[in-house]
Structure 1
Amino acid sequence: MRPELLFPLFKSAESLKGVGPRMMGLLRKLTGEHVIDLVWHLPSGIVTRQKIDHLLPDYVTGQVIVTVTTRKHHPSRSRRVPYKIDCDVNGEALTLTFFNGREDYLKQKLPLDKQRIVAGKLEEYGGVYQITHPDHILDVNDHADISIHEPVYPLTGGITNNMLGKAIQQALSFVPVLPEWQDPTLITREKWIDWKTAVMTVHNPTGEKDLEPESLPRQRLAYDELFANQLALELARRSMKRKKGRSLPSNGTLTEAVIDLLPFALTGAQRRAISEISADLTANYRMLRLVQGDVGSGKTMVALMTILQALENGAQAALMAPTEILARQHLEGLDPYFKQLGLKTTLLTGRLKGKKRAAVLQELAEGTIHVAIGTHALFQEDVQYHDLGLAVIDEQHRFGVHQRLALSAKGKPETGGVDVLVMTATPIPRTLALTAYGDMDVSIIDEKPPGRKPVDTRAIEIERLDALATGLGRKIAENERIYWVCPLVEESEVSDLAAAEDRKTYLEALYPGQVGIVHGKLKSDEKEAAMEAFKSGETQILVATTVIEVGVDVPEATVMIIEHAERFGLAQLHQLRGRVGRGGLAGNCLLLYAGPLGETQKARLKIMRETEDGFVIAEEDLRLRGAGELLGTRQSGLPEFKIAELEKCGHLVTIARDDARLFLEKDPELQSKRGNAVRTLLYLFERDSAIHYLRSG
């Protein structure tokens, strides 16, 4: 149950004075529907209104006491003709100008010969001072209602800053004094104020510095949110560890046999990851581990060793990929090893239908198929496994958490469910890994297999496109393959397609019969056919939108041309570059750009030229783009933070993770005085689902 102390904060914002159904509809999109959501909606700017006694020629935002003298211009039918009211300020003339002004309203707000406080931007035109559409008009007795420093909030169409400011001030009146949930030593060290004072302070800035994420009150609130997030993740992790799992120890019969079959030695990073996973599988709790590896670091071999350890115990394994192309590629890469070990695999995708599908489902249920590789078809309701012990999920951020859970639920309850290994080739900045995947144990593969040559990366002005295209003949003569990636045009998918089709036509004229195309509008079998023609060498240039981004492996591909590279994010550019130079031949990545470039675009291209380290690139991408844009909050499972800006407070995430772990070591059931305060914190940031973990397990 949510503590009674928080009830007023979780009332509907419609309970506030002045918030009717229309404004409530807009608030739902802008802030959220509860009073607390308004409290979390922090100012993004500030207007400082100095008191003006004498009119100055400088443009200034201020507040001035006026006496209304005349109404010279009455409204006409033309909207362009303003309604003007003349006023006196200590013997000087000032005009108040209103477009579409309602006469009855203005007469009531600005009666003749009366004094009023007017706040707004003072301007001068041709020797005449004026304020257009004042922000505030108040009786002189209400001067306390105009703040010298007024916060400016992020808005949406239909809500003014004045309307939102009034609603937020009301919301703040419900903010209670709450018990302190932070470690007193930390508060002293960071010079933080208490929670309520921090909330009040951030909504009453007195200068630009107060708006910075580094300001102490904002840091305090960001840390509260990050601490709540880390507590919830740690409670989830502990709950998972408490769940009875199945011990799948390695006896070496399959894992050691496959090492003898490999034509190369595993890297130190691969061996380390395999060892960490093996320990998880051997333990009698359920595994939930994330393997992060840069492009081409050899995650597939780690997945193979994990699958074989599960199979050594008589269990089945499933490997789920986000697309059919990737699922087929995994099957092609792994099946030769499984066959030599006498193990049976199957491909299960949405395309498998009728009698063939029925036969596969029967073999899975009987246990004669040891490994199923496929797409989300692996966890459809009618798919039953004889004894599923392990689920490997490739490119986790392309699946929702519920899909992960659906696959892991396919195990036998009496054996303790399914161990889950999640893999991603998208290097995730440490800050994001801790906040998005903090409920998982993490293994990092940060070494590339020996013999992998660096990819030569260059940025080229788009004006040189013709010379570049005609120069590709040398690569084609050597039987090498070329990717030509066309940019996504944000307006519509139709223009994306048109751009790709135009480029194919252009290249086809230079290299007849050598050019294929892949884009999002193609059916999956058409995509497969285009990819297959490219892999086999039937076509040597593949024009594509970013559907070739993740995981596609063509050893002969040596050239990656990315048109309008300035439109892509760093992570995307890095993933695309990772498609070439995989077969022992040197790779080239050519970033075609159209100037002039903005500072962020210049920084991206510079980083791409300077480093191939995906983890360095990921950190830079976070710094340049921010967290929400980086992973795409909705599909990544990344929590949406209301206050914390991850790109600005990475050091706080690490402190919060360590603090959460230490605290839960001492008080795992949240029973102490601080423990009870921590419960309030979890409810405050709507991480209450974590409270259930205390009782579950």
Structure 2
Amino acid sequence: MSRPEVLFPLFAALDTLTGVGAKTAQHFEALGVIAPRDLLFTLPQSGVDRALRDTVQGAAFPTTLTVKVQVGPHMPARSRGGAYRIHVEDAQTSFQLVFFHGRSDYLQKVLPTGAARVVSGKVELFDGIANMVHPEYILPPEEAGDIPPFEPVYPLTSGVTQKTMYKATRSALDRVPELAEWIDPAQAAQAGWPSFAEAVALAHAPGSQEDLAATAPARTRLAYDELMAHQLTLALARASERRVRGIASKGTGVLQARVRAALPYAPTGAQDRAIAEISADMASAQRMNRLLQGDVGAGKTLVAFMALLTAVEAGGQGVMMAPTEILARQHLEGLQPLAEEAGVVLELLTGRDKGAERRAKLAALARGDIQVLVGTHAVFQADVAFADLRLAIVDEQHRFGVRQRLALGEKGGAADVLVMTATPIPRSLALAQYGDMDVSVLDEKPPGRKPIQTALVSTGRMDEVIERLRAAMEAGRQCYWVCPLVEESESVDLTAAEERFKRLRAVLGEGRVGLVHGQMPPAEKDAAMARFQAGETGVLVATTVIEVGVNVPNATIMVIERAETFGLAQLHQLRGRVGRGEAASTCLLLYQSPLSETGRRRLEVLRETEDGFRIAETDLEMRGYGDLIGTAQSGVPRFKVADMERQAGLMAIAQSDARTLLADDPGLRSPRGEAARVLLWLMRQDEAIRLISVG
């Protein structure tokens, strides 16, 4: 498939636009502008009111004004580099035009004494006299129409001025073709949106401040177009996944009933709902692609195991994958007692399995004797073959790209896929990042989890904190001490962690303090973790390598040093490492004072709530989504017009519209489908276009 001809003018070279030469075109690249199409989506960020007024009198200075004046006497500069002044009069008062380094011959020509001119520029009071310094416009009255009454102000980069930008955008606007409508007519009518061509024209010619707001109809429409193209891409990916025939795995409920009978308490409503959603997906002939989102301690393990049992009840196998060996072992420990109740064979496969032992495991897996496998990425290796893989569960999505999801699917041919994440994701982000998946949310805590006391403590009180640790250790408790990520460089983090380790060891005793950090060989890291899990060390000093899923029920204190340097979601994850046993737990957020206002507000949210979704929403409001997950590695799209934080509702509408359109017209062959193809080309959604052409 090739780009539709109607869009050629918008994808021509930039230097085909008025006022853009080869050099300016290069400067434009810094703004992400490489074709006229990109200028259409580079909207003004503010505007200047240049409506013609009678007089500067009574204005609130400093401000930008446009007035018609009678030019009076010139007063050239007395010294080199001084100010060249021209006395002018408007309908009610007089003021001065001021030029630094003004050339007399040029100014006499542009502003001849006695002539009428319209001038526009910033006016400020100077020694009680109004001054307009370097007017931006000086025109004879008959050309005053060239001054836009409300002038758009664009984002710039070096080598590109407002004038260049204005000219180039007008030139790009002249090329906008009338395009067939891709938005559902009922949606456009109800929202009162203009057509695409009208929307771009209006967005670039705001009449007032209101037109610059994200809520202005023209801007909302363009934001929607971006979101719609993105959601169409995800919906196409989802449809192509679904075209892969799945295997219907219907559970009998026999094994699940055994596990339920052995549980000390009933599952929460949210757990039951998620189990039902997953069972229904697995029973259907389409392949499951579901995200299980649960806050720290919401009981994802039970839901995951029930899904694995459904696969076994249906006569197949299940696999659960974790990003690290520590986590894989932990899943094994968590699932072992449940597997014993159910009477299923559970086995672990990691990179450590070598030689004869590994061969024996692989043979048992290929025969179907191992019913549930827990493993690390080692499961992807070519020699790993299942007898009948029905379900693959992937833990901690953000270590796991879409490509790995697909590679895993290939192992089982048509195996259902369930992705688990303990990071509560705000709705708008979930839609943007996982829009190709169905989502189950665990938003209730199982009974019996004790709340964690959270306190803010200034680093000045470090000695008190260390004393508190000593007391806790004497009472037989354990503590985590998380060191800050000082710089981006790991060597600096390392020094910080090692210094802290030495200081705590000196105070608390040689063998009582352990250390884990990112630069350790994996075997050493595992050994240090194992000593802490076994209770041999009382304090574990760590950089954030411990945030995902480590389970030490005896650890009751979490100290996070320089807490203000961490993201809220990350702090919430770290805090969730304690409060897993019987005893009351505490999280101490050590901050360096003075804390900024927002810094304090962020830490206070943690003190007030343990609701991960509320924390994630606050984090998104305060930091923007780019920082929230480090956009570079997250696969979250960057939109030029749409604002994901404030337009989550729009994203949801775009998602349901995109899915409905594809359900009605899977090949995008109808008139509206053809229009949607043009939208995908317009929005540079090449992946989506590939999916249609393959489909």
Would you call these one fold, judging by a TM-score over 0.5? yes
Equivalent position to 2:504, from 504, 507, 532 = 507
By how many angstroms is 1:186 displaced?
3.1
Using the alignment, how far apart are the partners of 2:403 and 2:73 within structure 1? 65
SS in 1 for 2:109: coil
The aligned residue for residue 64 of structure 2 is 61
In the alignment, does 2:525 pair up with 1:522?
Answer: no
In the alignment, does 2:490 pair up with 1:489?
Answer: no
By how many angstroms is 1:409 displaced?
1.6
In the alignment, does 2:170 pair up with 1:172?
Answer: no
Using the alignment, how far apart are the partners of 1:404 and 1:327 within structure 2? 17
Residue identity in the other structure for 1:506? R
By how many angstroms is 1:383 displaced?
4.6
The aligned residue for residue 217 of structure 1 is 218
Deviates more, 1:673-682 or 1:167-176: 673-682
SS in 2 for 1:221: helix
SS in 1 for 2:411: coil
Using the alignment, how far apart are the partners of 1:621 and 1:381 within structure 2? 41
The aligned residue for residue 293 of structure 2 is 292
Deviations 1:413-453 (A, max 9, x none): xxxx2211111111112222223222212111222222111
Using the alignment, how far apart are the partners of 1:205 and 1:15 within structure 2? 25
Change (3 A) 1:170 1:292: same
Q: How does 1:251-330 map to 2 (within 5 A)?
A: 251-252=252-253, 254-260=255-261, 262=263, 264-330=265-331
Equivalent position to 1:574, from 555, 572, 575 = 572
In the alignment, does 2:425 pair up with 1:423?
Answer: no
Paired residues of 1:391 and 1:420 also in contact (CA < 8 A): yes
Change (3 A) 1:146 1:503: farther
By how many angstroms is 1:376 displaced?
3.2
Residue identity in the other structure for 1:40? F
The aligned residue for residue 114 of structure 1 is 110
Deviates more, 1:661-670 or 1:286-295: 661-670
SS in 1 for 2:651: helix
Q: How does 1:148-163 map to 2 (within 5 A)?
A: 148-163=149-164
Change (3 A) 1:501 1:652: same
In the alignment, does 2:49 pair up with 1:48?
Answer: yes
Change (3 A) 1:145 1:299: same
By how many angstroms is 1:534 displaced?
1.9
The aligned residue for residue 347 of structure 2 is 345
Paired residues of 2:344 and 2:372 also in contact (CA < 8 A): no
Q: How does 1:600-611 map to 2 (within 5 A)?
A: 600-611=598-609
Residue identity in the other structure for 1:46? G
Residue identity in the other structure for 1:343? V
Using the alignment, how far apart are the partners of 2:159 and 2:370 within structure 1? 60
Paired residues of 2:325 and 2:350 also in contact (CA < 8 A): no
Paired residues of 2:349 and 2:379 also in contact (CA < 8 A): no
Equivalent position to 1:464, from 453, 461, 484 = 461
Using the alignment, how far apart are the partners of 1:499 and 1:22 within structure 2? 47
Using the alignment, how far apart are the partners of 1:587 and 1:568 within structure 2? 21
Deviations 1:379-407 (A, max 9, x none): 24565545433221111122221121122
Q: How does 1:126-205 map to 2 (within 5 A)?
A: 143-205=144-206
Paired residues of 2:455 and 2:587 also in contact (CA < 8 A): yes
For the aligned residues, what is the CA RMSD? 3.5
Equivalent position to 2:638, from 629, 637, 640 = 640
Deviations 1:4-53 (A, max 9, x none): 22222233434434445554445344224232222112222223346588
Using the alignment, how far apart are the partners of 1:238 and 1:670 within structure 2? 12
Paired residues of 1:61 and 1:121 also in contact (CA < 8 A): yes
Paired residues of 1:239 and 1:696 also in contact (CA < 8 A): no
Percent identity over the alignment is 50
Deviations 1:229-266 (A, max 9, x none): 33443344344333311122223454444445555543
By how many angstroms is 1:366 displaced?
5.8
Paired residues of 1:331 and 1:347 also in contact (CA < 8 A): no
Deviates more, 1:114-123 or 1:602-611: 114-123
Equivalent position to 1:433, from 401, 426, 430 = 430
The aligned residue for residue 78 of structure 1 is none
Using the alignment, how far apart are the partners of 1:22 and 1:466 within structure 2? 61
By how many angstroms is 1:641 displaced?
2.3
Residue identity in the other structure for 1:474? A
By how many angstroms is 1:297 displaced?
1.1
Residue identity in the other structure for 1:348? T
Using the alignment, how far apart are the partners of 1:336 and 1:160 within structure 2? 68
Using the alignment, how far apart are the partners of 2:472 and 2:209 within structure 1? 56
Paired residues of 2:559 and 2:587 also in contact (CA < 8 A): yes
Change (3 A) 1:63 1:262: same
By how many angstroms is 1:360 displaced?
5.5
The aligned residue for residue 6 of structure 1 is 7
Using the alignment, how far apart are the partners of 2:50 and 2:87 within structure 1? 19
Residue identity in the other structure for 2:625? A
Paired residues of 1:120 and 1:133 also in contact (CA < 8 A): yes
Deviates more, 1:117-126 or 1:437-446: 117-126
Paired residues of 1:400 and 1:635 also in contact (CA < 8 A): no
The aligned residue for residue 549 of structure 2 is 551
Using the alignment, how far apart are the partners of 1:14 and 1:547 within structure 2? 50
Change (3 A) 1:589 1:138: farther
The aligned residue for residue 614 of structure 2 is 616
Q: How does 1:669-688 map to 2 (within 5 A)?
A: 669-687=667-685
Deviates more, 1:88-97 or 1:329-338: 88-97
Deviates more, 1:30-39 or 1:150-159: 150-159
By how many angstroms is 1:582 displaced?
0.8
Unaligned runs of 5+ in 2: 112-116
Residue identity in the other structure for 2:151? E
Residue identity in the other structure for 2:421? T
SS in 2 for 1:322: coil
Paired residues of 1:470 and 1:510 also in contact (CA < 8 A): no
Paired residues of 1:96 and 1:130 also in contact (CA < 8 A): no
Deviates more, 1:363-372 or 1:618-627: 363-372
Residue identity in the other structure for 2:167? K
Residue identity in the other structure for 1:477? E
Change (3 A) 1:144 1:613: same
Residue identity in the other structure for 2:8? F
Deviations 1:503-550 (A, max 9, x none): 333323321232223232333223222222222222222222222222
The aligned residue for residue 242 of structure 2 is 241
Residue identity in the other structure for 1:248? S
Using the alignment, how far apart are the partners of 1:498 and 1:45 within structure 2? 46
Deviates more, 1:199-208 or 1:59-68: 59-68
The aligned residue for residue 335 of structure 2 is 334
Using the alignment, how far apart are the partners of 2:225 and 2:431 within structure 1? 15
The aligned residue for residue 103 of structure 1 is none
SS in 2 for 1:472: helix
Deviations 1:473-526 (A, max 9, x none): 221112212222233224543433333333333323321232223232333223
Using the alignment, how far apart are the partners of 1:328 and 1:68 within structure 2? 88
Deviates more, 1:534-543 or 1:670-679: 670-679
By how many angstroms is 1:292 displaced?
0.8
Residue identity in the other structure for 1:59? P
Using the alignment, how far apart are the partners of 2:547 and 2:624 within structure 1? 21
Deviations 1:57-113 (A, max 9, x none): 9333345777995875898xxxxxx58655454586533236xxxxxxx86994653
Using the alignment, how far apart are the partners of 1:20 and 1:307 within structure 2? 62
Structure 1 length normalisation: TM-score? 0.86
Paired residue total: 679
Using the alignment, how far apart are the partners of 1:109 and 1:263 within structure 2? 94
SS in 2 for 1:539: coil
Paired residues of 1:68 and 1:112 also in contact (CA < 8 A): no
SS in 2 for 1:113: helix
Change (3 A) 1:524 1:12: farther
Using the alignment, how far apart are the partners of 2:29 and 2:478 within structure 1? 51
